[in-house]
Amino acid sequence: MDEDMKYMQAAIDEAKLSLSEGGIPIGSVLVRDGVILSQGHNRRIQDNDPLMHAEINCIRNAGRIGRYGNTILYSTLMPCYLCAGAVVQFGIPKVVVGESSNFGGAEDFLQEKGVEVVNFGLPELEKMVADYIERHPEIWNEDIGTL
């Protein structure tokens, strides 16, 4: 758990970085054998790119790493179907999530595909996302595809 929290903190730092840039506060970190391979955050607003979710940005930042079978993806929010699809496509076996109360995402899909999902339910992240949703409901609804 302590090791997982270290990597989750790196993802939280990415979420805060996105927020400081005027973006949606979601961060992600890809880890292999105790080493952070890459980090990323939601850049949809900053890059005007509808696909630049935190997990996609993180995986993209890793570059071509060969096999993903021994990696863990940490995300501050439960991945959506776009990001869950990337997890499944690249064979990432485990996703550690900071919270899912603000967005349930594709947890069932991930589990059906054999991905282990661990959800910390962190109050700090629940509040950060809820505050963002309250301030920017139109951007949030666009991000999660409900517009």
Any idea which residues carry the catalytic annotation? 55
Q: Helices 2-20 and 54-62, interaxial angle, to 10°?
A: 110
In this structure, are strands 94-97 and 116-119 parallel, antiparallel, or unpaired?
parallel
Q: Which two tokens stand for residue 75?
A: 């995300």
DSSP state of 18: H
**Alpha carbons within 13 A on the beta-carbon side of 91:** 6
Answer yes or no: are the C-beta atoms of 10 and 31 closer than 8 Å.
Answer: no
